[in-house]
Amino acid sequence: MDDAAPSRAVLRSEYRFLSHLNRATSAAKALVDAVADNVPNISGRPISLVDFGCGGADIPVRFLKQAAERGWQCSFLCTDRNEDALEIGQAYVLSSGDGKLGSGPSFQVVDLLVADKTLGARSFDVAHASLVMHHLDDESVVVGLRAMASVARELVVWNDLIREPIGVWVAQLCTITAGRELRHDAAASVRRSFTMAEARAVAEAAGLLNIHVRRMRGARFVLTGVPGPLQMPLGGRPLARAQDICFSYGARKILSKVNFVARSNDLVHVTGANGSGKSTLLACMVGALKPSAGQAWIDRTALLPGFHPQEGGLFSVLSVTANLESAARLAKVPSAQRPSAVMRGLSDFGLQLHASQRVDRLSGGLRRRVALACAMIHSPSILVLDEPDAGLDSGGREALVRAIEAVLVRRGAVILASHAPSWLHDQPSFAKRVEVCL
């Protein structure tokens, strides 16, 4: 639940549903398999686990029973930020008690985001979280995974919902007989959840190593990763990823397994000869083209990417102002903010004197400025630029540099293709570059 202090009645209703869901999706077995596959000598030594957001404690109970059948010696700490949740979990343990549980799990109130400070570094062999992260904002997911990685000595296991259209329908169907609040929460949980690529990206940002993600039953995934060094600097948040992107026009192959990650503060510089596929790659990244194989991913929590194509992208018979207004609507700028966004675009790119002119009556350099202003109209976190410097005079190039710097200052990312990159190398603020050669 998103509410920090839900009622006991709501908690009990949710945990009953989750217990059935966890059983149907074999969530405990997924944890058992993850530990068996990734923790060496599991049968010859005691293993300690900590569970974050343990809910009704059904996964720890089922895990301990299955572990006992394998002859493992396991201790299990169940944690949650809510004392009522822990009391419900303790009651479930008492009702489920048998010889296979041993001493059973213990319980402690812990906030996942500061778990490393509460429990201590490297205090457990395995850290596990189930159906917790989709209740957090994107930055907090990275913080939470990093806290888990700090607590764990050997393995981090995270399982959660996969975000896909059918998942909302399934969530609503599964909770059709439940209360209104639970039905709403189930559907909202799927909408806030993750694709498998997104889960991998935030795990990378949290510093996990040897990351593996696989699909479970019931539109869920399980992710495993090895904790990185405790003092490992926090990597920039991944904002865009090209993963084995291929593209062909008929029998003509343009792109073949292109890979890169654009993190916050990164400037990705795409280079290559004419016809090497630079424009095609950028169009795939923003969704204008679909790769023949592989995947182009952009952070779902970021604003729509700002896109500057090599050619076109403007309504030639409309005025500069009308083009900016149209760009603002397409970028979903709230109506109350559009006038100020348009004025800012005119000012930032030196277009005030040309505001009422039709675009097809402007010079090539001025049209390029208008296209850049349209790409920046919503102050995007991700900016994709195809030959943005072509035809620009010194004033236009200065405006372009300021626009790129503004994105990087906001901890965004820029993906850029340019035939004459010398102007990039002259900018100290562009030092954190990722070079992609096609």
Altogether, the residues listed in the chain come to a count of 438
Q: If DSSP codes are grouped into helix, strand and coil, which group holds residue 125?
A: strand
Q: What is the pLDDT of residue 19?
A: 78
For residue 196, give the nearest of 214, 210, 217, 208 by alpha carbon.
214
Distance CA 225, CA 37 (A): 12
**pLDDT tens, residue by residue, 309-332:** 887 788 889 999 999 999 999 988
Q: Taking a C-beta distance cutoff of 8 angstroms, is the pair 433, 286 a contact? A: no
Q: Taking a C-beta distance cutoff of 8 angstroms, is the pair 160, 133 a contact? A: yes
Q: Taking a C-beta distance cutoff of 8 angstroms, is the pair 243, 285 a contact? A: no
Write the DSSP string, 149-196.
HHHEEEEEEEEEEB--HHHHHHHHHHTTTS-HHHHHHHHHHHHTSB-H
What six digits make up the tokens of 28?
């405990």
Helix residue ranges, H only, 217-289? 278-286
Residue 398: Cβ within 10 Å count: 13
For residue 376, give the nearest of 342, 423, 351 by alpha carbon.
342
Q: What is the pLDDT of residue 3?
A: 46
Q: If DSSP codes are grouped into helix, strand and coil, which group holds residue 238?
A: strand
What is the pTM (predicted TM-score) of this model? 0.58
> Which of 130-139, 230-239, 388-397, 420-429 has the weakest average pLDDT?
230-239
What six digits make up the tokens of 293?
């194989």
Token pair 């992609």 is found at 436
Burial of 352 (0-12, 13-18, 19+ CB in 10 A): exposed
In terms of pLDDT, which residue wins out, 150 or 135? 150
Q: pLDDT-derived band of residue 2, with 50, 70 and 90 as boundaries?
A: very low
pLDDT at 79 over 50: yes
Distance CA 3, CA 14 (A): 12
Q: What is the pLDDT of residue 157?
A: 97
Q: If DSSP codes are grouped into helix, strand and coil, which group holds residue 268?
A: strand
**pLDDT tens, residue by residue, 39-76:** 998 888 999 999 998 878 999 999 999 999 999 999 99
Q: Which residues make beta-bridge pairs with 287?
A: none
Q: Which residues make beta-bridge pairs with 372?
A: none
**pLDDT tens, residue by residue, 98-123:** 655 666 799 999 999 999 999 999 99
Distance CA 32, CA 216 (A): 13
> Whole-number mean pLDDT of the chain?
84
Distance CA 73, CA 64 (A): 9
Buried b (16+ CB within 10 A) or exposed e, 233-249: eebbbbbbbbbebbbee
Q: Which residues make beta-bridge pairs with 224?
A: 157, 212
What six digits make up the tokens of 194?
């993750």
In terms of pLDDT, which residue wins out, 167 or 303? 303
For residue 148, give the nearest of 228, 33, 39 by alpha carbon.
228
What six digits make up the tokens of 362?
């402007």
**pLDDT tens, residue by residue, 160-198:** 888 766 555 555 555 445 555 544 555 455 556 778 878
Q: Taking a C-beta distance cutoff of 8 angstroms, is the pair 147, 114 a contact? A: yes
Distance CA 176, CA 165 (A): 17
Distance CA 66, CA 165 (A): 33
Distance CA 435, CA 438 (A): 10
Q: Taking a C-beta distance cutoff of 8 angstroms, is the pair 400, 372 a contact? A: yes
User: Who contacts 159 (Cβ-Cβ below 8 Å, separation ≥6)?
Assistant: 27, 30, 31, 129, 130, 131, 216, 220, 221, 222, 223
